[in-house]
């Protein structure tokens, strides 16, 4: 396991060094990534131009909700989203190269696909998080601050697992990439808004694809709001367990996927 991590970081280093050769391009792309997140925030701002509150949530509260998903999403995007490249690798028949080598394919794919510019997607949400924390009345304390940090950590693991799980589909259905996107990017989008807005079935879906545990449940707890899912009060504290379970599922799915790929050929 430690070897896989060491290899991962070496591959990351090689990518970063390579990208650094084209500094101008790197800078432009990082700015682009940062702007992408600004668009999401802009949508919320524009919406609140029209309405005082959204399903009972004030702007500051929605800002906290938004940041509590955008930060973990951005971190997972930086470290795990390269697994999406599997779709391309399998389609073009170059995935074999990873199996030739004496190392796990997952770490290799993520390492090879690392792009430092994606870190731009964390910048604005972090600022938004800071702003939201300062403006929202959540009876902040050391414990609650720790809770928030753990929430972000669990959220990162959940998004990472969703990425890995959906990318495993590449081994079975090479054309279904956009379905995977609807879970990863779609999930990231849906979590930006209070679940009170969406209907029952979509709401319950966020328990299966556990988006509710990323930000909605923890934030409702912090704010002392009733949650639209009607879960018991300790539900938000399940987030780390949910994250761990999802990561295990993702690992199984990936392994099964590779095994299927090796059986069926390309």
Partner 1 sequence: MTGPAAIEVRDVTKEFVVRRRVGRVRRERVVVRAVDSLSLSVRPGEMVGYIGPNGAGKSTLIKILTGILLPTAGTVRVAGLDPQRHRVATARRVGVVFGQRSQLWWDLPLADSFDLLRSVYRVPAARHRANLDAFVDLLDLGPFLGTPVRQLSLGQRMRGEITAALLHDPAVVYLDEPTIGLDVVSKARVREFLARVNTERGVTVVLTTHDLDDVERLCSRLVVVDRGRLVYDGTVEDVKARYAPDRTLVVDLEPGAPPPPGAVRSDGPRHWIPFRRDETTAAAIVATLAGLRDLTVEEPGIEEVVRRMYRDEARR
Partner 2 sequence: MRLGSFGGGSFGDSFLPYWQVARRSFQRYATYRGATAAGVFTNTLFGFMKVAVLLAVYRQAAGPGGRIGAFDETDVVTFTFVSQGLLTTMGAYVGMQLAERIRSGDVVADLYRPLHFPGYWLAHDLGRAGYQLLARGLPPVLIGALVFTYRLPPDGRAAAAFALSLGLAALVSFAIRYLVILSGFWVVDVRGPWSLTGFVLMFFAGLIVPLNFFPAWLDRLARMTPFPALVQTPIEIFLGKAPGGAAAALAYQAVWAAALLALAERVTRRAFRKVVVHGG
Residue listed under structure tokens 């304390």: 141
List all residues 6 or more positions away from 117 whose beta carbon is below 8 Å from its beta carbon.
Answer: 19, 26, 29, 30, 32, 33
> Does residue number 3 form part of the binding site for partner 1 (CB under 8 A)?
yes
Going 217 to 219 to 221 to 227, the CA torsion angle's sign is: negative
Q: Are 111 and 12 in contact (CB under 8 A)?
A: yes
Strand partners, 54: 57
Smallest distance, Å, CB 96 to partner 2? Answer: 21
Q: Which does 14 bind (CB under 5 to 8 A by kind): partner 2, partner 1, none?
A: partner 1
Say whether 228 sits in a helix, a strand or coil.
coil
Q: Which does 140 bind (CB under 5 to 8 A by kind): partner 2, partner 1, none?
A: none
Supply the Cα-derived Rg of the chain in whole angstroms: 19
- Buried b / exposed e across 11-28, counting CB within 10 Å, b at 16+? bbeebeeebeeeeeebee
* Stretch 153-182: interaction string toward partner 2, x if CB under 8 A: --------------------xxxxxxx-xx
Q: Are 227 and 206 in contact (CB under 8 A)?
A: no
Interface residue with partner 1, options 36, 38, 99, 123 (CB under 8 A): 99
Residue listed under structure tokens 């808004």: 193
> Does residue number 84 form part of the binding site for partner 2 (CB under 8 A)?
yes
Q: Which does 122 bind (CB under 5 to 8 A by kind): partner 2, partner 1, none?
A: none
Residue number, 10 or 204, with CB nearest to partner 1:
10
Chain residues binding partner 2 by CB under 8 A are 22, 24-25, 28-29, 31-33, 35-36, 39, 42-43, 46-47, 49-55, 84, 173-179, 181-182, 185-186, 189-190, 193, 196-199, 202
Residues that bind partner 1 (CB under 8 A): 3, 6-7, 10-11, 14, 17-18, 93-94, 96-97, 99-104, 112, 259, 262-265
């Amino acid at each position: 396991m430690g070897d896989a991590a060491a290899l991962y970081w070496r591959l990351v280093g090689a990518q970063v060094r390579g990208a650094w050769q084209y500094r101008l391009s790197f800078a432009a792309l990082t700015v682009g990534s940062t702007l992408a997140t600004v668009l999401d925030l802009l949508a919320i701002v524009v919406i609140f131009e029209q309405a005082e509150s959204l399903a009972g949530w004030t702007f500051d509260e929605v800002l906290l909700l938004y940041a509590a998903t955008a930060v973990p999403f951005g971190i997972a995007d930086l470290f795990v989203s390269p697994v999406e490249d599997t779709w391309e690798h399998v389609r073009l028949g170059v995935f074999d190269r990873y199996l030739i080598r004496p190392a796990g394919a997952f770490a290799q794919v993520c390492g090879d696909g690392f792009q430092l510019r994606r870190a731009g997607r964390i910048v604005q949400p972090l600022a938004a998080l800071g702003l939201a924390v300062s403006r929202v009345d959540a009876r902040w304390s050391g414990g609650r601050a720790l809770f928030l940090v753990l929430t972000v950590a669990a959220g990162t693991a959940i998004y990472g697992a969703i990425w890995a799980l959906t990318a495993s589909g590449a081994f079975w259905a090479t054309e279904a990439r956009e379905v995977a996107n609807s879970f990863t990017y779609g999930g990231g989008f849906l979590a930006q808004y209070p679940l009170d807005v969406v209907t029952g079935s979509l709401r319950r879906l966020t328990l299966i694809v556990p988006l509710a545990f990323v930000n909605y449940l923890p934030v409702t707890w912090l704010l002392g709001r009733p949650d639209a899912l009607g879960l018991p009060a300790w539900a938000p504290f399940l987030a780390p367990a949910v994250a761990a379970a999802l990561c295990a599922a993702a690992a199984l799915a990936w392994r099964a996927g590779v095994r299927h790929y090796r059986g069926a050929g390309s």
